[in-house]
Amino acid sequence: MRERRLSKFSVGRKLARALASDHSFRSGRIIGSMCTAPHPFAARVFSKHIEKNLGDPGLSPGAMALEAEAIRSLGGLLSLPDAHGYVVTGGTEANILALWAARERAGGRGREVVVSEAAHFSIDKAARMLGLEIVKVPLGRDRTLDPAEVEKRLSPRTIALVGIAGTTDLGLIDPIEEFSRLAVERGLYLHVDAALGGFVIPFARELGRTNRAFDFSLPGVQSITIDPHKMGMSVIPAGGILFRSRELLELVRIQVPYLSGGETALPTVVGTRSGASVLAVWALLEHLGRRGYRAAVERAYELTDFLAAEVRTIPGLNLVAEPVTNVVGIGAAAMPCERLASLLREKGWAVSLFPGHLRVVLMPHLRLKHIKKLAADLRAVASS
C-alpha cells in the first residue's frame, strides 16, 4: 500500500488506463460468455443498496423477505412456487450447495455422483471439496447423453445424479425425464444444473423450441441451479439454488450465534453476502416478469437461428450440434479450432474455445448487427 494519498482524479486516470484493454459487453464483441450486460434497472437497484450484508440477515428483514419472494418467483418459473433456496454468488456456489445436500441426505451410504462428461467444472470442484467421486458418462456422437449409458454407471455407491439443462459447451439438455425416473426408482438425489437453461428453457417451451421437461415438474428433481447473472440479466454476482423441500435446505444450514441481527442459521457457502445482488434479482424479476424474459429469449433465438444458418453456408465450418438453447457450437474442418479462435481474437472477438469447437452464446447484449459482422469475419477467416 502506498504511504501518501493519491487524488481521486489521479486514481481515476490510473483506473481508466488500466481498464482500457478490457472487453465490454457494450462493444458487442463478447460472444463467448454466459454473462451479459446487467439490465440498467438491476444495476440501479444494485448500486443503491451496496451496504447491505445478508450474511447477517437479522439486520435486513425487509431484504430477506424480498429474497424469499424472489425464490418463490424463480420456483414458479421452475414449476414449484414454494421452492426453498437462496440467491448465491453463481452457478458454482449453487452446485456446491446441491451436492452438499445430496451428500448429507445420503448419510454416508456412498459417495458417487453420476454426471455427463459435459458437466461444468464446478461439479468436479464441488466433488473435490465434499469428498465425493464423480463418475462421468461419455456422450454419444451427437453430443447427447444416452440414458442407458447413465444406468450402466449406477452402483450401490451412487448417491446422486446431476442432469444439465443447458450444457456449458453447447447449451444442450440432458434427458432429465429419464434421470428423474432413475432417481425415483433407485432413491437417488437428482440435481439439475440449469445455470444457463433455467431462464431459457421455460420460455423455449412456450415458444415451441423444445418440449424437454427439466424442472420440479419431474418428481425426482430435488434441487436446481438457476443463474440470474446469466440469462436472468441481473448484476454479477447472482446465482440461484432452489430445493424441493425445506428439509433439504436444512441439511446445509449452519447455526451462527453471534450476529448483530441475532442468532440465525446460514445456508450459503460464503458468509458475508451481497444484499444488493439479491435486491437487484428481485427487482428485475418484478420489472420484467415472464413477458420480459420471454421476449429476451425470443430475441436470443432469432440471433441463434441467424448465426446457425450463416455457419451452415460457410465452407470449412460446421455446426457441432443443432442449437437447442441460445448456444452455437462452431467446428472447423479445414483448420484446428485453436487457429480459428486465434484468428477471430485477432479481429477483436472474445470467443470461447472448447476441444473441437468454438462456442458462441447469443446473450442479450448482442444485436443482429454484431452477429452479421461476426458471420462476415467467420467467412473471411475460414477461407484464410
* Residues of this chain that bind ligand PLP (CB under 6 A): 34, 90-92, 95, 120, 122, 164, 166, 168, 193, 195-196, 227, 239
**Residue 90, phi-psi category: left (phi > 0), alpha (psi -120 to 50), beta (remainder):** left
**Three cell numbers, residue 367:** 444485436
**Cα separation of 193 and 239, whole Å?**
11
- Residue whose CB is less far from ligand PLP, 196 or 337: 196
Q: Closest approach of Cβ 232 to ligand PLP, in Å? A: 11
Q: Closest approach of Cβ 36 to ligand PLP, in Å? A: 12
Task: Indicate the Cα dihedral angle 197, 312, 147, 337, nearest 10°.
Answer: -80
- Residue whose CB is less far from ligand PLP, 165 or 371: 165
What is each CA distance from 140 to 67, 176, 252, 324, in whole angstroms? Answer: 40, 16, 35, 16
Q: Closest approach of Cβ 70 to ligand PLP, in Å? A: 17
Q: Closest approach of Cβ 324 to ligand PLP, in Å? A: 13
- Residue whose CB is less far from ligand PLP, 38 or 166: 166
- Residue whose CB is less far from ligand PLP, 168 or 234: 168
Burial, 372: exposed, middle or buried (Cβ in 10 Å; 0-12, 13-18, 19+)? middle
- Residue whose CB is less far from ligand PLP, 195 or 269: 195
Q: Closest approach of Cβ 195 to ligand PLP, in Å? A: 3
Number of Cβ within 10 Å of residue 15's Cβ equals: 10
Residues in CB range of 95: below 8 A, 6 or more apart: 120, 122, 123, 126, 162, 191, 193, 195, 225
